[in-house]
Structure 1
Amino acid sequence: MATSGYIVLPLYSFSGNINENHSIPDNMAKTYVSLSDSSRIFNLDEVVVVSQPKESTYLRQQPLASSIFTSSETGKLAVRNICDLSSFVPSFQMPSYGSRLTSSMYIRGIGSRVNNPAVGIYSDGMPLLSKSAYNFHIYQIDRIDVLRGPQSTLYGMNTEGGLVRVYSKNPFTNKGTDLHIGVGNHFYRNMEIANYSKLSHNTAMSVAAFYNGQNGFFRNSTTGKRADAYNEAGGKIRIVNQYSNKLTYDFIADYQYVNQNAFPYGMLDLSTNKTASPSTNRESGYRRNMLNSAFNIRYTLPGITLNSTTSYQFLSDRMNMDQDYTALDFMHLSQKQLQNGVTQEFAAKGKLKNWKHTSGLYGSFQWLRTDAPVFFDQDFTNAMGQTIQSAMYNAMVGAMSQKFMNIPGMTEDGAKAMAAQAIERAGGVSVNSLSMSVPGLFHTPQFNLGVFHESSFDLTNRLSMTIGLRYDYNHVKIGYSTSALMNTTVNVMGMEASSRLRSILSHETCNSFNQVLPKLAFTWKLSDNGSNIYALVNKGYRSGGFNIQMFSDILQSELRANSNEAMRSDYDIPHTNEDYAKINSTISYKPEFSWNYEIGTHLNLFNNTVQADFSAYYMKIRNQQLSVMAGTYGFGRMMVNAGRSHSCGLEASLRGNAFSNNLSWSLTYSYTRSVFDRYSEDVNGTTVDYADNYVPFIPQHTLSAAADWTFALSDGCIKSIVVGANTTMQGKIYWDEANTFSQKVYALLGAHADINLKRLTISLWGKNITDTHYNSFAFSSNATGKKMYLAERGMPLQMGVDLKVHF
């Protein structure tokens, strides 16, 4: 959707959006084009121009599929994070998975719940290193771009599915103070304040802060408390110095804090697809402190622009999870992460008559420490104690009955009965106490280096060719220090005995990965109004690494296999170099890579009143990384390489203006078919083949539609009234590799009404106003010893009012 009143500016000359509250530099005033007397629309990246260190061409003129959202559009759609935005982008899925920690994104069937992301995020020029930082509060932004398909040539690893770029408002092109206050049902509350000012003729600064919170919708039926309440707050500062016509400095720092009740999973009834209220005896929660800062330098020479981006990223968080998801006291997890990361990127782009080119060098280092102890609680230890007691009792009965069999005429059953009586008369066998603990400390540093080049040549007046190549090197390392300890006190025929069974794992290992990432594309310009068609082939990949979530499963398997040793005396399970080699092989996973074949078109239709974008793609994925429950016990998720799969689909986006810009509308649709070509696993000694099954968590269909009507008022204090509605639809979504349970197609309806005064805007909004019941996530678990199905309900009806003041 386009917004009336915008002007068109050259790509290189301006950064920011223009409206009546914002100034235009005098030397640019002559470049504007009035839109007030027309329903024509323009590319949004022509309207809201931002600094692009790598591209010299508008997005819709590049051979790729993309979506662009201005701050005006995100406001109308009540977008406060990328999860909200994803519903309005074809093939894009970023559902709520219980907390800000688990911020998974899927584009075109590529994505995962844990470890390396398949979709990257650049925030104000800096690549976010940690997937735990992806789900952040979006405010005071100029524009958001979503690029679909591999972006690995220019942006490197972990952009195999696509890329999201977020741009903050520029203090040079905004002025004054913005104040936003909002309130909604279940005591949703939001407040933002931002000030944009010039410190001198060549320096401008912005400062902004926000608070956001909600009391939650889902109540824990065991504790009686809300399972999804949250509070978050933060602030950011940006300073831009245009030292000269050639040199610009840009510094930005964004701090955010969130504290939320998390993982509101309830029992799922497969027959009705209804999800019960959460019911855990322990509260689950997530708390995060995060700072992302970047320093950008741009230097312009004749025919070439040099860019440098240096970033420092800090993240400290803590997750508490009731890992059996029930009112039973089986086990819980407390995980803390501490991350420090730095990135440095140099890029040089140039433009000659028939040649556009970009070259660059990228490097990053991420230091990450994870403290993840697993606690086994009373119901678990009682169950294990009963298992040990039964095993000891049966062993003693068997041994004694063999002696009684020597009595003449004694039967086997009689001998066992006599042995059981003797044991009972002597005091029996019982486990008086049992305790278990699994502490774990993990260091997982990563280093990444990339060298890239991309050129675009105008072969004729209509035909252009784009070629690109990147070399990417990634080094991953893990140092782990973890153990499992089981202390047991038993009574054996009147005598008390204690034993200790312990397994200690302490080791380091590393892996390195190299990838060459090519790109070849052709673009045919259909007309002078910007319409074009393109064909593209390129390669994407995401790095391999190590699982840390499955160590508790490995250790518990070792304790179980050596439990007989603990019946005799204290025992420390030994580990050889061969044992560590097997463990390292178990916890590691390989890089995933894919080839993407794509055709598409960008059309400006009906005298530029409608923009239409269509794309069709086929992706071959190898060594597909898939998130599955860990091993024997299923105490956490781990990444495995699921063989081969392919993903193919169609994407369509339309938007336009009509009736002298009183009506603005948009429509998107995508179809995604992502299936396994080769993947099998061993389940209880039986090989299960998942070939031709759908890859889980990927919606097969997505659809969105939005329309806004503006009533312009010439008299009185009210300048205009805008009413709008939107709907989103997605499904079917399978939740497991076997495709045994799923979420059917569902649709959500939203609406808003805005009253625009000179300095004040009053907005009424609603989301899911039909109160549709759906699940945003579901999974199965064997944590209690029997299979359970659990799900997280999607958000029900939400409504509220926002006040926006500019002065």
Structure 2
Amino acid sequence: MKNRSIIAYMLVLVCMPAKATAAIENDVMVTGADTIVKRMVDLDELVVVSQPKENRRLRCQPVAGSMFTEKEMTGLGISDLSSLSAYIPSFSMPAYGSRLTSSMYIRGIGSRSGSPAVGVYYDGIPLISKSAVNSHFYQTDRVDVLRGPQGTLYGINAEGGLVRVYSKNPLNYQGTDIRAGLGTGLYSNAEVAHYHRPNDRLAFSTAVFYSGQRGFFRNTLLDGRADLTNEAGGKARLIWLPSQRLKIDLTADYQYVNQNGFAYGQYDISTGKFDEPSTNIMNGYRRNLLNTGLNVSYDMGTLRLVSVTSWQYLHDLMQMDQDYLPEDYLRLEQREHMNAIVQELTLDGNVGNKWRHVSGVFFSHQWLHTEAPVFFGEAMNKKILGSMGIPPVVSSALTITDNRVPGKFETPVTNIGIFHESNIDITPRLMATLGLRYDYQRVGIDYDTYSHFTLENAGMPQMHIGASAHSYTSLMQNKTTKSYNQLLPKVALTYRMNDAGSNVYATVSKGFRAGGYNLQMFSDIFQSELRSKGKEMMVLMNGDMSVEHDAEDYSRIDNTISYEPETSINYEVGAHLNLFGGRVNADFSAFCMRINDQQLSVMADRYGYGRMMVNAGRSRSLGAEVAFRGNAFGGRMTWAATYSWVQSTFRRYTDSVTVATDKGLATEKRDYRGNHVPFVPQHNFSIMADWRMDISQNGLLRSMVLGVDLCGNGKTYWDVDNQYSQKAYATLGAHVMLDFGSVNVNLWGRNLTDTKYNTFLVNSAIDGVSRSFAQRGNPLRFGVDVSLHI
């Protein structure tokens, strides 16, 4: 609890001098009598969490990382990974409009769909589904973000980095927390949590929350809020110590979200004018998410065996007007029903304090059933009718109705990993890290989908053709699998410069992201097939038409819907420095990543009616990151600053696109060498400072903290052509935290300058006119949060 009293005064990425019962000797935590600490200490000294795969503090490892405590996240208004990303170098997780879209980019690695590029762990449990990682933070103790490939210890989809989220531990924290908040946009938040430790061997916690907002953007066609959100959930945790060696940790976390989403409004790039959304259906997302985990560890002295078992469940529904226009062109529904099991065993230990090692095996299997019907509206039906090759005198009497592409997909994924990492002290100051992981993944798809519409003829007496209605059907049913094998090595050297903990390091590591299948491509395949029929469609004038597919067709389809794995090699050098007697922590890193078969999410305006993953040949990502944190004026002022520069460009990427010419449609070659990889900010920065004023030790108001923060991104391109971009922008925030002992009040403001910026932009020409649609960032907001600890 004394460490907790220290944490209560830690604000904005720094630790202030205070009483402590822990000290660090040679990177290992030891306890001793209370002393006054006259140095800057690392966050992970104070918030101690169990990490079976690591036996050194984060800043003593050859990795670039950032850490945040609950107090820091409260002051900055951080409630999820998207808001956290603004304060981490080279990390971007834009708010694309719903909890479903959880795209994360670290050092130029990431994508909007397909396999995730950043791994996410909650209390030691890896989240399997990319649809599950964007969830609400509450009763969170600490969040770590590790940048660069972490595949050796954490598997294939940690190519860009790793996020670790830790809940409060009832063994170390007891009592009841009650929180409530209100703000502009009818923001509201409520939490109730209880932590109890009946004896030294048993502890448990329960917590529930609600969070919601009316929103800031209105759908002008439907006269409703386009970003209305309601979410709620609860979690429980039980920790039992049957003996001094055995620990059992059981967790369960359920969250429900129901939100209007994807508030994409038409955006004029030349003037910066943003129109409110105007879609003919209300876009939205609804999700039920349950993550459970059983963590069992057994201490055998020099060795420790840890077992992590998890069952994860997700059931969701996404509805989207894919043309974003008032006219009814195209809409998509996507229902996912996912069950996943995870089992991991790790064995770690020390040999004479000079060899620290960890080995393990990993297994996961995901059952994912997806229904993704696409519906074509009246506006699209008229467009399709005009492209069927039917003479105008005939087509003028025709109407397409009931045009849809239903689809049912089973996409099981199995992953097996075997890994080992050793940290060997070559000398008292030089440490070598050697790691290797073998990963096997099997991905499959079993699809049952078809294209259907009815061609209605009102009758053409002049051609002796009477009224009729005939249907068109093209059925696709097939099952296929792919398997991938990969070795993920890691080699690093770390040199400890002094006894204060400063070190420099160099790392070479390999990253890997799995391949898979594009589910949304089938509507595009069907429409391409339809256009290729030309005059064959005249059959519909006299009867029904059914399209058959042979083995050669299915081979081409399987090649079209699949995309290959992405691999990368990361070269990195860095330093973790404790300066000016420990009053300043400084972290530096520079990296060069070479990416092969980079996975890109290509927008609908390029390939027609669906979104697909493609492999973009080769790209390169160069960058540098700096992070400072410190205190001044006897610890009354705490501050932090970060900056990163990332240049992620294509080194080899060519494509063929269809363009309109005077003679009709034509295929044109494009070469994107030298273009910037889309969705990756070229710069990001943050500056934060808090000033604490001690008022009274025993009075009503104990202390007051005045805080300010500024964060922003550099230029971000939205497309591979680099025609559309978001210019550099910054947002300003401030807060006043009042400490009344057991009650704390936080008055806050976000985006105080009401900066106008876009978090996402897509270009569409579905009606023949090129338009841009953008998701606007949240405007100026104010609010208050009150917390009570009993």
TM-score range, shorter chain: over 0.9
Distance in 2 separating the partners of 1:280 and 1:359: 53
Distance in 2 separating the partners of 1:557 and 1:151: 41
Paired residue secondary structure (2:339)? strand
Aligned to 2:22: 9
Q: What is the Cα deviation at residue 563 of structure 1?
A: 5.1
Distance in 2 separating the partners of 1:675 and 1:205: 49
Q: What is the Cα deviation at residue 559 of structure 1?
A: 2.0
Percent identity between matched residues is 49
Aligned with residue 801 of structure 1, among 779, 784, 787: 784
Q: How does 1:49-128 map to 2 (within 5 A)?
A: 49-128=48-127
Q: What is the Cα deviation at residue 565 of structure 1?
A: 3.0
Does structure 2 conserve the Cα–Cα contact (< 8 Å) formed by 1:651 and 1:670?
A: yes
Q: What is the Cα deviation at residue 575 of structure 1?
A: 0.5
Paired residue secondary structure (1:324)? coil
- Counterpart amino acid of residue 208 in structure 1: A
1:622 aligns with 2:596: yes
Aligned to 2:441: 474
Paired residue secondary structure (1:339)? strand
- Counterpart amino acid of residue 494 in structure 2: T
Q: Encode CA deviations 1:419-470: one digit per residue, 9 max, x unaligned.
A: xxxxxxxxx9611553311100010000000000000111111111110000
Aligned to 2:348: 349
- Counterpart amino acid of residue 375 in structure 2: F
Distance in 2 separating the partners of 1:649 and 1:621: 14
Aligned to 2:672: 690
Q: Greater shift after overlay, 247-256 or 191-200?
A: 191-200
Aligned to 1:23: none
Does structure 2 conserve the Cα–Cα contact (< 8 Å) formed by 1:102 and 1:132?
A: yes
Q: How many residue pairs align between the two structures?
A: 758
Q: How does 1:560-599 map to 2 (within 5 A)?
A: 560-562=531-533, 564-568=535-539, 569-599=543-573
Does structure 1 conserve the Cα–Cα contact (< 8 Å) formed by 2:23 and 2:32?
A: no
Q: How does 1:516-665 map to 2 (within 5 A)?
A: 516-562=487-533, 564-568=535-539, 569-630=543-604, 634-665=608-639
- Counterpart amino acid of residue 710 in structure 1: R
Aligned with residue 646 of structure 2, among 654, 664, 672: 672
Q: Encode CA deviations 1:573-598: one digit per residue, 9 max, x unaligned.
A: 11110000000000111100000000
Aligned to 2:165: 166
Aligned to 2:712: 729
Does structure 1 conserve the Cα–Cα contact (< 8 Å) formed by 2:170 and 2:197?
A: yes
Aligned with residue 709 of structure 1, among 691, 700, 709: 691
Q: What is the Cα deviation at residue 801 of structure 1?
A: 0.4
What TM-score comes out, normalization by structure 1 length?
A: 0.92
Aligned to 2:460: 492
- C-alpha spacing 1:429/1:551, structure 2 compared with 1 (3 Å): closer
Q: What is the Cα deviation at residue 224 of structure 1?
A: 1.4
Q: Encode CA deviations 1:533-585: one digit per residue, 9 max, x unaligned.
A: 00000100100011101111101111222253332232211111000000000
Distance in 1 separating the partners of 2:558 and 2:604: 15
Aligned to 1:374: 374
Paired residue secondary structure (1:280)? coil
Paired residue secondary structure (2:59)? helix
Distance in 1 separating the partners of 2:399 and 2:569: 60
1:508 aligns with 2:496: no
Aligned to 1:383: 383
Q: How does 1:196-235 map to 2 (within 5 A)?
A: 196-235=195-234
Paired residue secondary structure (1:755)? strand
Does structure 1 conserve the Cα–Cα contact (< 8 Å) formed by 2:21 and 2:31?
A: no
Aligned with residue 425 of structure 2, among 458, 467, 486: 458
Deviation >6 Å, runs of 4+: none
Does structure 2 conserve the Cα–Cα contact (< 8 Å) formed by 1:543 and 1:591?
A: yes
- C-alpha spacing 1:208/1:441, structure 2 compared with 1 (3 Å): same
Aligned to 2:270: 271
Aligned to 1:236: 235
Q: What is the Cα deviation at residue 497 of structure 1?
A: 3.0
Q: What is the Cα deviation at residue 385 of structure 1?
A: 3.8
Aligned to 1:411: none
Aligned with residue 440 of structure 1, among 407, 410, 413: 407
Distance in 2 separating the partners of 1:759 and 1:148: 37
Structure 2: segments with no counterpart, 5+ residues: 1-12, 659-666
Distance in 2 separating the partners of 1:631 and 1:679: 18
Q: What is the Cα deviation at residue 633 of structure 1?
A: 5.5
Q: Encode CA deviations 1:483-542: one digit per residue, 9 max, x unaligned.
A: 001211212335223322210000001000000000000011100100000000010010
Aligned with residue 789 of structure 1, among 762, 772, 789: 772
- Counterpart amino acid of residue 445 in structure 1: P
- Counterpart amino acid of residue 22 in structure 2: L
Does structure 1 conserve the Cα–Cα contact (< 8 Å) formed by 2:267 and 2:774?
A: yes
Q: What is the Cα deviation at residue 630 of structure 1?
A: 4.8
Does structure 2 conserve the Cα–Cα contact (< 8 Å) formed by 1:557 and 1:632?
A: no
Aligned to 1:185: 184
Q: What is the Cα deviation at residue 620 of structure 1?
A: 0.3
Q: Encode CA deviations 1:345-396: one digit per residue, 9 max, x unaligned.
A: 11111112211101000000000000000111122223334555x82346x7
Distance in 2 separating the partners of 1:357 and 1:261: 48
Q: Encode CA deviations 1:722-753: one digit per residue, 9 max, x unaligned.
A: 11000101010000001001001000000000
Paired residue secondary structure (2:40)? coil
Q: What is the Cα deviation at residue 657 of structure 1?
A: 1.4
Aligned to 2:280: 281
Distance in 1 separating the partners of 2:628 and 2:399: 70
Does structure 2 conserve the Cα–Cα contact (< 8 Å) formed by 1:629 and 1:635?
A: no
- Counterpart amino acid of residue 536 in structure 1: T
Does structure 2 conserve the Cα–Cα contact (< 8 Å) formed by 1:386 and 1:431?
A: no
Q: What is the Cα deviation at residue 716 of structure 1?
A: 2.1
Q: What is the Cα deviation at residue 30 of structure 1?
A: 4.1
- Counterpart amino acid of residue 245 in structure 1: Q
What CA RMSD, in Å, does the superposition of the two structures yield over aligned residues? 1.8
Q: Encode CA deviations 1:309-362: one digit per residue, 9 max, x unaligned.
A: 001100000001111101001121111000000101111111122111010000
Q: What is the Cα deviation at residue 304 of structure 1?
A: 1.1
Aligned with residue 780 of structure 1, among 746, 749, 763: 763
